Structure 1
Amino acid sequence: MPRIIATASSLPSTYYEQTLLAQTLEHYIASLERPFEGLWLVADIFKNAKVRGRHFAIPLDSFYEPLDIGQGHRRMVEERNALCANALSRLFEKSGVAASDITQLTSVTSVMSIPSVDAEMMNRFGFRRDLKRAPLLGLGCQAGAAGISRVTDYLHGHPREAAILLGVEMGSSIWAGPLQRDLEHLLEQLQRDSAVYPVILSQVVAASLFGDGAAALLMVGDEHPLATKPGPRVVDTRSVFVPGTVGLMGMNMEDAGPRNVLGVDVPEMASRTFAEGLGTLLAEHAVDASRVAHWFIHPGGPKVLQELQAATRLPDAALAPSWSVLHDVGNLSSATVLHMLDQHHDANGAKAGELGLLTAMGPGFSEELVLLQW
């Protein structure tokens, strides 16, 4: 079975307390001088997100005079590349493996660029020229878990090889112009159409959750020389897709730029698909949830975690790592579960034979689950 033998994370040095972010957004909306009866809700929404603060690679220095779309995108790609390079440098340092030893690189992100981020990293590190690259785009928060599954599939067919999964997200990029332009546009629309009101609140909710970060995993096939090193083996994976739900969650490109889509049914849908996938995956291995000692559940937000726990009756301890990462750094989208694995790996928190369950939900609507064993 493929094994995860090293992990690394990279978070921007700039960290903003949630209260400051709420005040910044509240003051901006007020400065637009458009009637908006929901202004008082901004502080409550940010407080209810259960986030203490978030790392931003793009500071708020130009929040009131944001970059245009082209400048903002170039800045986002530049900062994304720096985060990825830092994560990979740490991974190589921690593992002792060289970039030239890697034969496959899978990257997951919502930051669109052509060429993709893996090509950028090939120009910074000594990767092989015949490296097999697999950039995955459009899976949203689910991408970190799905990336582990897809690298596992590759290593099953190439058991003597080593591969890297790289995940990176830039939640702060929304604050670099798209959020301001979109809110201004929506508040103008609101004067003519009251149906826009919940859309505005949805954007405030999204603005309260997402942060920046990158994480990388080194995985090897079971015939690789490093396959005996400590680390969790990927026992099995499971994908769950719900037809007819493509509009429930994701990101649309509007006139003002990208806009997050977070439907009100996301928490209930996430809990349902997770319960379905978990039951099927564990049953196939004759394992009860009580035997899973380590949980890496993507914290989409407080309501997602609450609905998920209610649907599965998991103990508080199973959700504790999810609440912790949400509180400390917010939702890192695809990088979240990879960052959680890195924290767990550094803490040496598993004994041989113990099971783990990693999962994340995303647009589609869909869920990816990974069963691990140390």
Structure 2
Amino acid sequence: MTLHAALPQPHATESKSTGVVGIVGVGTATTEASYTQPEVLDIFGITDPKVRSVFLNSAIERRHLTIPPRGSDGSRLAEPQGELLAKHKRIALDMGARAVRACLESSGYELADVDYLCCVTSTGFLTPGLSALLIREMGLSPGTSRVDIVGMGCNAGLNALNAVAGWSAANPGKVAVMVCVEACSAAYVIDSTMRTAVVNSLFGDGAAAVCLVADSLDAASGPAFVPSAPGSPRILGFASHLITDAIGAMRYDWDDEQAKFSFYLDPEIPYVVGAHAERVVDRLLSRAGIRRSDVSHWLVHSGGKKVIDAVRINLGLTRHDVRHTTGVLRDYGNVSSGSFLFSYDRLLRERSPEVGDYGALMTMGPGSTIETALVQW
């Protein structure tokens, strides 16, 4: 059975598609070492009851982290900003390469097949960008087209997927790979404040990649890919919403005292995001002529317990609907831009999607921004 139902009409701000874009593979990777929340507290000698409460009530059981080495006195060494950038480069190259290889293996493609590479990260800055470094490191063709999306935060995976889907639609039959690589261990400030406690209790290292290929709508050119099999959904559209009144609610600031960048999360942001979720989701679905009840699978960014609950309640979702979102938070913490792909990978491994099912993807991050996408198996 081939799914060639008409694509939704493009919005005024959207470019017209020339092909049906399918997600044909996914892969994930993490750093080697993982720690429970009590272990992290003990490693850094955190005894403040309020800070410990933030860690222990996070709904996170374990995260992959790259802990700084011990000094001669047994305490963990401080990492200047330069060392954090070097850590990011090392971790990102390793995780990114493993995620891309896993993605290609699941899709049946090889490194030589990759025509386009998009790299997403917010946990470090590199010039040349991660895409150039991965092309050299992995032995991809020097002629591979590439782009780096840097600093957009946890929502960036869907921003990038939108752009990569556009490239795929304009280049039917060619293989595009998007990889989200977040070395969150390279973006930490360790001190005794509640500001850093919230961040330090939440994020973990992780990378996730997807492979996209578009079928041609021009019968004369022949089909390159028909996204009809379970596990290979086609992308129907995207919708975004920027909450301009909360533009500073999630941000990187320079900390003069620490001489590092420090991430800030406003404690009210879960409720702000939840309050705006309906607007953008309903706009996404209305373009395809469907309702929330028509969506069988929900893949929401594992931003934290409060934000997941706020989105779930405002959209009228069940705990079962967000089981993969909460499961990823429990087992990995918030892995930033790649979190929703960890959930997507779990959904496919569960083998629950059936041909014709709709899936809604949602990410949230700095801006403050809500990004969504609609897919169909």
Using the size of structure 2 for normalisation, the TM-score is 0.86
Q: How does 1:56-135 map to 2 (within 5 A)?
A: 56=65, 58-62=66-70, 64-110=76-122, 111-135=124-148
Q: How does 1:16-35 map to 2 (within 5 A)?
A: 16-25=35-44, 27-28=45-46
Partner of 1:41: 50
Whether contact under 8 Å (1:103, 1:132) holds in the other structure is yes
CA deviation string 1:256-286 (max 9, x = no partner) = 2121110122112211232111011112222
Whether contact under 8 Å (1:220, 1:227) holds in the other structure is no
Q: Where is the helix percentage greater, Structure 1 or Structure 2? A: 1
Q: Per-residue deviation at 1:96?
A: 2.7
1:154 aligns with 2:161: no
Q: Per-residue deviation at 1:143?
A: 0.9
Q: How does 1:258-269 map to 2 (within 5 A)?
A: 258-269=261-272
Distance change >3 Å, CA 311–CA 92, structure 1 → 2:
closer
Whether contact under 8 Å (1:161, 1:221) holds in the other structure is yes
Whether contact under 8 Å (1:5, 1:229) holds in the other structure is no
Q: Per-residue deviation at 1:80?
A: 1.2
Whether contact under 8 Å (2:251, 2:264) holds in the other structure is yes
Distance change >3 Å, CA 160–CA 93, structure 1 → 2:
closer
Whether contact under 8 Å (2:26, 2:104) holds in the other structure is no
Candidates 348, 351, 354, aligned match of 1:348: 351
Using the size of structure 1 for normalisation, the TM-score is 0.87
Partner Cα distance (1:94, 1:300) in 2: 26
3-state SS, counterpart of residue 123 of structure 1:
helix
3-state SS, counterpart of residue 244 of structure 2:
strand
Q: Per-residue deviation at 1:204?
A: 0.3
Partner Cα distance (2:203, 2:96) in 1: 18
* One-letter identity of the residue aligned with 1:22: L
Q: Per-residue deviation at 1:229?
A: 6.4
Q: Per-residue deviation at 1:228?
A: 4.4
Q: Per-residue deviation at 1:245?
A: 2.7
* One-letter identity of the residue aligned with 1:296: L
Q: Give the % identical residues.
A: 25
* One-letter identity of the residue aligned with 1:126: G
Q: Per-residue deviation at 1:244?
A: 4.0
Candidates 280, 293, 303, aligned match of 2:306: 303
Partner of 2:25: 6
Distance change >3 Å, CA 215–CA 363, structure 1 → 2:
same
CA deviation string 1:136-167 (max 9, x = no partner) = 01210001122211111222222232200000
Partner of 1:273: 276
Partner Cα distance (2:143, 2:276) in 1: 38
Partner of 1:225: 224
Partner Cα distance (2:317, 2:41) in 1: 32
Any stretches of 5+ residues in structure 2 without a counterpart? Answer: 1-19, 217-222
3-state SS, counterpart of residue 63 of structure 2:
strand
Partner of 2:325: 322
Q: CA RMSD in A?
A: 1.8
